[in-house]
Amino acid sequence: MKAVSHLAESRAPSGTFDVMRLREDFPILKLKIHGKPLVYLDNGATSQKPQAVIDALNRYYSLENSNIHRGVHCLSEQATTAYEAARGKIREFINAGLDKQIIFVRGTTEAINLVAQCYGRSFLKAGDEIIVSAMEHHSNIVPWQILCEQTGAKLRVIPINHDGELVMEEFRRLLNDRTKFVSITHVSNALGTIVPVKEIVALSHERGVRVMLDGAQAVPHLRVDVQDLGCDFYAFSGHKLFGPTGVGVLYGRGELLEKMPPYQGGGDMISLVTFEKTHYNVLPYKFEAGTPHIAGGIGLGSGIDYLLTLNWQQLAAHEHKLLSYATAALSSIDGLRIIGTAKEKAGVLSFVLDHVHAHDVGTILDQEGVAVRAGHHCAMPVMQRFGVPATTRASFALYNTVEEIDVLVRAIHRVRKVFG
């Protein structure tokens, strides 16, 4: 785990990490599934929400509901203040320089598509090359394939080794005078691999190549500092960061965002409209057409407030303990193979069981109250690389416990018993 930033250290309380007390902040963890306590290990798909976020959403709809910007009445001004305050919290959380560099979007997928269309179509041409990796989520593959079809650019792919790590020698070989853009995941959703993105950014910038990072799986586990990373664009989703669904963030360098055309046209992204010409609004509003997910933005801000009350060094140690314990426990199960054994990993364990499809594993685990993800995880090329149709993925968060991993292990043994 990356070391906690000085900002987080200054805000985080001291003392020991009490996971059982922390679990009290997440009401859904009290549920029973099929009569058994919920063991939620599907955090890579979406995280659960603390009561503070739920309360923020209820408060907005109960006491502040109004459309933002341009309203002169009290409710509109209150909603605008809360929404823009959330933008400031996000900027501080990832250490961006200015609020205007924070663009609200629906999620990581929309952020990547925005950059592909607004930056890519403006600055890439036939023969240019875009580099992605073999461990990308489909959301960081398909937008670039569409751009290549539109412009005649070519997509190049960094291979991964059998441990699920990027082959950095191949990345260096792929970088050339035709390379114009690199888009790479920070943490693999299918493997848990922590990618050496700072090195990738540095190597790319030596050749004047722009870099986008998909941080959807990184922000819940690592302290992200976009200025330290040096990336040109960074994207993540609120719902994986203990916030609401339907809201996400695109960070971009101001000078690049200024040069890019809008993604969509409509309200709030304009300053003047005539039938002869439309003048666009200033950043960040140029990229925020229409009524945004106001409650979602406010809720995400509350999620960040909640996280900043915690000690990130202790959280990192707790998640490392969970991953190490789970890796050892699952490795001891006959017929189980872990897919993704990189030296640097976040809290993701993907595995296959001999002669049992991942969907069958997931179904039986659910009967034991254990929620995992089964399938290709929107990463079909990863499955192809490892020669499997699907994996079962257990993904951890700050509220998971060693005891829950024990439940997972017992449930897997039940799967083995059912299938002989």
Catalytic residues: 378
| Cα 234 to Cα 148: distance, rounded to the nearest angstrom | 21
Residues paired with residue 394 on neighbouring β-strands, in sequence order: 349
| Cα 163 to Cα 229: distance, rounded to the nearest angstrom | 24
Q: Packing angle between helix 294-307 and helix 51-59, nearest 10 degrees?
A: 150
Kindly report the backbone phi and psi dihedral angles of residue 261, in degrees, each rounded to the nearest multiple of 5, phi listed first. -75, 165
Residues ≥6 apart with Cβ < 8 Å to 42: 371, 372, 373, 393, 395
Q: Packing angle between helix 358-367 and helix 402-418, nearest 10 degrees?
A: 120
- Indicate the length of the chain as a whole number: 420
C-alpha distances out from residue 119 to 1, 108, 116, 122, 210, Å: 32, 16, 6, 5, 10
C-alpha distances out from residue 230 to 138, 251, 411, Å: 24, 12, 43
Per the CB < 8 A criterion, the answer to whether 1 and 222 are in contact is yes
Residues ≥6 apart with Cβ < 8 Å to 19: 318, 398, 399, 400, 401
Residue 61's identity, in one-letter code, is: Y
Per the CB < 8 A criterion, the answer to whether 143 and 212 are in contact is no
Kindly report the backbone phi and psi dihedral angles of residue 29, in degrees, each rounded to the nearest multiple of 5, phi listed first. -70, -10
